[in-house]
Structure 1
Amino acid sequence: MHTYIALLRGINVSGHNMIKMELLRGFLKELDFANITTYINSGNILFQSQQTDTAKLEESIHLKIAEKFGFNIPVVIVTLEGLKIVVSNNPFSENEISDPTQPFVAFLSVNPSQDDIAAFSAIDFGKDKFHIIHKAIYLIYADGAAGKTKLTNALIENKLKVRATSRNWKTVHKLITLAEAYR
C-alpha cells in the first residue's frame, strides 16, 4: 500500500462547497482506499491505495466528489516524501518569515512551463513574495493570507495553466507528522 495526501481546493471556505469530513471519508472508501483520515475541515485527506498513478487518484477523487456532492473541486495528490522535499526546499530565510504559518505553499498538479513561469513572474504582486520550485510555489503574504493579495490560487491556476491549492506552513508540517504515522 502507498500513502498519499489529497489536497482539495475550495471546500468548507466561507460557507461554500460544504462537505462533512465524515461523509467524505465514507465515500472515498468506495474507491478502495484504506486508512482514510482527514485533517481539519479544509480538505486534507490522508489515505493508502494500491494505485501508483497519482493523476488517476486525483481524477477518481475529483469525480467522486462531483458525483456525491455536485462540486467541481480541484485535487492535488502529494506523498510524504514530496512534502519533505517541499520543506527542505523552502527558499525563504528565517529573517523573511515573521508569521509561523508562513510561508504558504501552493501545490501544483504539474510543473508549469518556463514560458508560463516567465509571464507569471512579470506580474507585480506588491510586497508579496514567491518562489516557484518544481510543483510548488512558496508564498509570503506581506499582509497575511487573508489580506488583499493578487497572488491567489485562481490567478496561479489561470496564469500557470495548472491546478493549485495552498496550505500554510503549520499544516504542511502537521501533514508530514500524520503521514509518518502510517509507516
Structure 2
Amino acid sequence: MKTFIVLLRGINVSGQKQIKMADLRSMLEKNNFENVRTYIQSGNVVLDSKETAIPLLEATISAAIKATFGFEIPVLVKLKGDIQDILKRNPFEETANNSDKRLYYVLLKTAPDRDLVKAFETERYENEGFSVASDCVYLVCNKGYGNAKLNNNLIERKLKVEATTRNHRTMLRLVEMGETL
C-alpha cells in the first residue's frame, strides 16, 4: 500500500464542475482507495492504494469522476515522496521561508520536451520568476498568482504538457496529511 497525492484540475471554480468533497471521498472509497482525505474544495486528495501504476490510477480516477459526476477533468497523481522531492528541490527556498503566498508549483503530468524548455527559459515576465524541472515549474509571483501572466494555461501551452498548480502552503499540507493517519 502506497500513499498518493491526487490533484484534480478545474473543479469548484466559478460554479463550474462542482464536486462536494464528501461525495469525492465516497466515490474514491467505492473504487477501493483507502484512507481517503481531502483538503479544501479545490480537488486535493491524499489516499492509499494497492495499485502503484500512476497512469492506471489517473485513468481509474478520471473514469470514476466521469461516471459519478458526469464530466471530465484532468487528474494528476503523484507519490507522496515525489511531492516531498519537489518541495526539497525548490530553487526559491528563501521565498518559501519568507512569503509562501508568492510561491507556486505547476506540477507537470509528463516531462516536457527539452527544446520547448530551452525556448521557454528565455522568456521573462515582470514581477515573476520561474525555474523548470522535469516534473514541476516553480513560480514566484511577486504580485500574486491571480495577477500573474505566467500561469498554468500559459505553461501548458508553452511546454505542451498537462499541468495543475498549487501554492506552497497547500503542498506542505498535502505532504503532512500523507504522513498522519
Compute the TM-score of the two structures, normalised by the length of structure 2. 0.92
Can you list the C-alpha shifts for 1:41-62, whole angstroms capped at 9, x where unaligned? 1111111111110111111111
1:18 matched to 2:24: no
Aligned residue number for residue 161 of structure 2: 162
Superposed displacement of residue 77, structure 1: 0.8
Distance 1:103 1:142 in 2: 9
Contact 2:95/2:103 (8 A) holds in 1: no
Distance 1:97 1:38 in 2: 25
One-letter code aligned to 2:120: F
| 3-state DSSP of counterpart to 1:101 | helix
Contact 1:2/1:52 (8 A) holds in 2: yes
Aligned residue number for residue 57 of structure 1: 57
Calculate the aligned-residue CA RMSD, in Å: 1.7
Aligned residue number for residue 27 of structure 1: 27
Matched-pair identity in %: 38
**Following superposition of structure 1 onto structure 2, how do residues 1-150 of structure 1 map, counting pairs within 5 Å?**
1-94=1-94, 99-147=99-147, 149-150=148-149
Can you list the C-alpha shifts for 1:96-152, whole angstroms capped at 9, x where unaligned? 8753223100111111110111232233422211101220111011210111x2212
Contact 1:21/1:41 (8 A) holds in 2: yes
Aligned residues: 181
Superposed displacement of residue 83, structure 1: 1.5
| 3-state DSSP of counterpart to 2:101 | coil
